[in-house]
Amino acid sequence: MGSLSVNLCGIELDNPIIPASGTFGYGYEFAELYDINILGTFSFKGTTKEPRFGNPTPRIAECTAGMINAVGLQNPGVDKVIAEELPKLKKCFHKPVMANVSGFSVADYAYTCEKLDKEDQVGWLEVNVSCPNVHGGGMSFGTCPEAAAEVTAAVKKVTTKPVIIKLSPNVTDIVSIARACEDAGADGISLINTLLGMRIDLRTRKPVIANKMGGFSGPAVFPVALRMVYQVASAVSIPVVGMGGVSSAEDVVEMLLAGASAVEVGAANLVNPYACRDIIRDLPGVMEKYKIQNLKDIIGGAH
């Protein structure tokens, strides 16, 4: 059997499969279903400086080949995550974990990342710049290169662990934003976050989601995600984590060929809680079918 291992920012992973933030909680809920130590790692629930209740309900809507969510970063805040969630996580997951961080100002990001950087279990900081900048009129940090670079530089100043910037696809030129993050010191780029979408209820003639719009994810977004990963991987020299509609071992191989060093699986976990386990189980067969000896060897192979 070939090797499934990959390297992400200097840390070796047994395989490239990473459940995406917001689809895997803090891990221990899934640990009741299977041994989550088979995963490469996972990205835990988006964490902010202060606790957040999230958006009003309804905040999930189904659609063809996907779903829309507007959960609104519901989380207990960084202090509670460190005091309560990480000790529980440590009991069931014995590898470095990816800490996903969100914020509403540059200072927020720096504060939360500095705290999580000190935690032994945290291997990487995945910084979600798709949040509305409260000091910038609500525009997302990830929609302009300067704002994304400012967050990157601020986080890098107060951390020692690899910083991976998670980019929004809701932009005209994702490459310029990725390059700005690299120039500001990012150790990696992850993409894509959800596309912006909505549904309207024909009976009430109103948007299905209380927030009107939400993040569209699922198999329907895979070709868009693959295209953006391909573009960014050829434009930067730091590792790329690919995600967006990944739901099979074949999708993972496509992402690696596009240039991803590791692959996150999101919405698929909400449809089938065993999705990541099944993908890891299926990978050797797919590798054999396409005559792949080591996954590391095919990264960027489509370029």
181 is catalytic: no
Give the Cβ contact number of residue 139 at 10 Å.
11
Q: Which residue has the tokens 């088979």?
A: 38
For 166-205, letters b (16+ CB in 10 Å) and e give bbbbbbeebeebbbbbbebbbbbbbbbbbbebbbeeeeee
User: Taking Cα atoms as reference points, which of 179, 183, 173 lies closest to residue 236?
Assistant: 179
Report whether the peptide linkage leading into residue 82 is cis, meaning its omega lies within 30 degrees of zero: no
Give the Cβ contact number of residue 293 at 10 Å.
12
Q: CA distances (Å), 67 to each of 24, 45, 210, 230, 265, in order? A: 16, 18, 15, 24, 14
The one catalytic residue among 131, 144, 181, 276 = 131
Secondary element (H or E) of residue 241 = strand 240-242
- Distance (Å, whole) CA 148 – CA 167: 9
- Distance (Å, whole) CA 172 – CA 177: 10
Active site residues: 131
